[in-house]
Chain A
């Protein structure tokens, strides 16, 4: 049963192509890391400081992206597919976003180029797109489309669809993590209560989809043709992995709130918001 759908991707066909399969993940991780480190070194060279914690976080994110695309994970099994979704769509984005890449990009850009980027960051379209609700719908909604429609079967057959999906996981995951807990300045970012509510709803729908997959393992994902036991294991990975990622995201959100409030307290009790987070 497991072999019913022969994956177009993954699965080594000899040593030559096995080495080639490692090329993409290594390249992606190295390019991401190299860009970030170059920008940090340039920034330090011009006398400005950049937190080592942010650098470490972004580099970890780059490694996680590489790991998600590596042959052992990208093996065409439903478990591998799920691990890839968790790494690309949830864990790597949290690490990448906590590296404050947009702040670094803006600081590193030549003055002439900063204006258009700032205009883009202030644009209505970007605000709508990067709103935490939009980001949640794009990332979790995408998963519903994937597992409950023939999209999954299509992604198994077509390399192009497969890679577009990987990019979708990563980009929408970053958008969501950035909207919830990104240290980058984001104009008109909604308050704690809205962000918290969206995280709970998004996490709830993620867990619900995991249980749907589990309860209908013999027929889902549509056209997957996987063994039911494999799908059940993947669904449990999705459920618990999603909770761990949610926990990390919530810690990032509240740790930022705690630091922000602490800075305000240091300026004097009057400056600090009296209230704890609106829950």
Chain B
């Protein structure tokens, strides 16, 4: 640590965005599991119409989200420790990640893999529109934040 503190280091924007995105995807996956599966019981653990190959894909994806959560957390901590974390870029990546998961879940998990619907026993169309609409809003806000944080890596690098 002593060695890094004395010399100026450039913020690592690319890694910060990536770490933020990883956390965003993983946190939204956790929200999906905790809120929609456990608390609301809208999503079902198993849908009788789901083919086995979808179940396998889902198993792999769920474990991958866990890996993203832990990797994103330790990766951010490492960037912070090195003094190269670009916080605004990381936040932009985080919101982008939230939207990326939401859209992927809404299109791939709910429709292509046919794992489960947003909610059962209701007309699912408004729910699907709200679900994927929310995803687009997250993506838009994330993209905007990333645009506005473009200077982050540069200024400090110039100062060096």
Contacts and interface: CB of A to CB of B under 8 A. Distances in A.
A263 to B, nearest CB: 11
Given A208-B59, A262-B81, A276-B15, A251 B70 contact: yes
Contacts, number: 104
Contacts of A269: 3-4, 82
Interface string A217-241: 0000000000000000000100100
B67 interface: yes
Given A211-B59, A212-B55, A214-B45, A250 B78 contact: no
A130 to B, nearest CB: 22
A254 B74 contact: yes
Contacts of A212: 52, 55
B102 to A, nearest CB: 20
A207 B77 contact: no
Contact of B74 (A199, A210, A258, A266): A258
A126 B57 CA distance: 32
B122 interface: no
B63 A246 contact: yes
A254 B71 contact: yes
B158 interface: no
A196 B74 contact: no
B120 to A, nearest CB: 17
B79 interface: yes
Interface residues of B, number: 35
Interface string B95-120: 00000000000000000000000000
B66 interface: yes
Interface string B29-70: 000000000000000011010101001101111111011111
Nearest to A210: B59
Contact of A206 (B59, B70, B74): B59
Interface in A238-279: 239, 243, 246-247, 250-251, 253-255, 257-258, 261-262, 265-266, 268-269, 276-277, 279
Contacts of B2: 266
Nearest to B75: A276
A89 to B, nearest CB: 16
Given A211-B59, A276-B78, A203 B46 contact: no
B22 interface: yes
A208 B71 contact: no
B78 A258 contact: yes
Contact of A211 (B22, B46, B66, B78): B46
A215 interface: yes
Given A250-B66, A269-B3, A215 B59 contact: no
Nearest to B15: A276
Contacts of A243: 62-63, 66
B71 A201 contact: no
Q: Of residues A200, A243, A251, A255, which shows the largest number of chain B Cβ atoms within 10 Å of its Cβ?
A: A200
A246 B66 contact: yes
A101 interface: no
Contacts of B61: 204
B125 interface: no
Contacts of A22: none
